[in-house]
Amino acid sequence: MGLSLMYDAIIVGAGPAGSVTARTVAHAGYDVLILEKNETCRSPCAGYISKTINFDVPDESVLQSDIKQMRTYFPDKSYHDFSLNGYVVDRPSFDMSLLSKAKESGAQVMWNSPLVDISPGIVKFRNGNAPGKIIVGADGVFSKTASILGLQPQRFAACAQYHIKDIEPIAQTCEIFFDSDYAPGGYIWIYPTGENSAKVGLGMIKDKNKKSPRQNLDAFIAGSKIANRLSGKITGYIAGALPIGGLREKLVFGNVILAGDSAGMADPVTGAGINNAILAGEVAGKTIIKALENDDIAQLCEYETKIRRLLGRPLGRALEKRIKMDACCNNQLLQEHLPELWVTFKQYRV
């Protein structure tokens, strides 16, 4: 199927970065096409969003819990509390609500349309192709856009997450557990989604015993010191990956730009990426509008300049911490050095 309309922007990926970019550009009156490889939005994510950014939740129904503090556990299960101001959202519903805003602004969406290739002026996808002036690769950690551009695959953490009901999570508190026996190079999380339910997940780098994230998560739920707190009814499961290699060295390639996880905008230690993806979508959208208004693709370079000014320093520091965390390959080292490696401790900023 060939689409004859010349799109001003073609967005690859219907996650937060892609949808916010699409909404911004379409709202200005330009023709926008979103290509999504799946048949719906999905993400292996706890869904925490900080209220520190200037962003209104598109639909109140996606909210699952307010978060007022993070409790971080050392391997010996002593813990450190830190005040937060955010909320947990249902990620598929949240992503769909952002996408709905893009559609309301005039963007067109094509599901089950994975990217196949990009050639001058044409974007090829499964069962079709479309002409486009500007292409945005917002297609995640295993970005096909980045691969077509000839970029190296990103380093990633593998993740697994259950949704569990009939348990009692700590109200308005997200819990983070560091234990290299269960989550080598990563951590386990519990994010409440209500009074008696939570997302319980795990992100890890590589297990010397060759166990999968799900196997390690099952072992934690069944055999850790808090196993009795997690013996509820599993109502959902999702797996995936998050980039931990830091911001890519280059984000703009002629008329193609990268945003969100495909650009390495997730924090290399925490894995958090929603806020940065939304921010990148807004910057990308405004930059694309400027380039289209002036009929000057070269102005897309301003996107990279702005992103590096906004995200370069925090993501650079986090990458330094990631390298140090990789060296903490056992619980003894984690116990000793965790305050230098995790964002809620004062020592992290030293």
Predicted confidence (pLDDT) at residue 322 exceeds the cutoff of 90: yes
pLDDT score of 4? 55
Q: What end-to-end distance do the CA atoms of the chain give, in Å?
A: 56
Amino acid letter, 19: S
What percent of the chain is predicted at pLDDT more than 70?
Answer: 96
Between helices 301-327 and 274-293, what is the axis angle to 10°? 160
Helix (H), strand (E) at residue 283: helix 274-293
Query: Which tokens hold the place of 15?
Result: 């996650």
Q: For 293-307, what is each residue's pLDDT tens digit?
A: 999 999 999 999 999
Element counts in the chain: helices (H) and strands (E):
7, 16
Tell me the mean pLDDT in the region 314-320. Answer: 97
The mean pLDDT value of the chain amounts to: 94
Q: For 255-276, what is each residue's pLDDT tens digit?
A: 999 999 999 999 999 999 999 9
CA 139, CA 149: separation in Å to the nearest integer? 13
CA 104, CA 199: separation in Å to the nearest integer? 31
Q: For 17-71, what is each residue's pLDDT tens digit?
A: 999 999 999 999 999 999 999 877 677 678 898 887 666 666 778 889 999 999 9
pLDDT score of 207? 74
Q: CA distances (Å), 212 to each of 145, 205, 218, 271, 329, in order? A: 27, 10, 10, 18, 17
Q: For 146-179, what is each residue's pLDDT tens digit?
A: 999 999 999 999 999 999 999 999 999 999 999 9
Q: Find out whether 190 and 200 touch, Cβ atoms under 8 Å.
A: yes
Q: Which domains does the chain have, with CATH numbers?
A: 7-43+91-154+247-320 (3.50.50.60), 48-89+155-243+323-349 (3.30.9.10)
pLDDT score of 1? 55
Q: For 199-227, what is each residue's pLDDT tens digit?
A: 999 999 987 778 999 999 999 999 999 99
Closest CA to 337 of 325, 319, 326: 325
pLDDT band at residue 130 using 50, 70 and 90 as cut-offs: very high
Helix (H), strand (E) at residue 99: helix 91-104
pLDDT band at residue 241 using 50, 70 and 90 as cut-offs: very high
pLDDT band at residue 5 using 50, 70 and 90 as cut-offs: confident
Q: CA distances (Å), 242 to each of 142, 266, 327, in order? A: 9, 7, 20
Closest CA to 88 of 51, 52, 42: 51
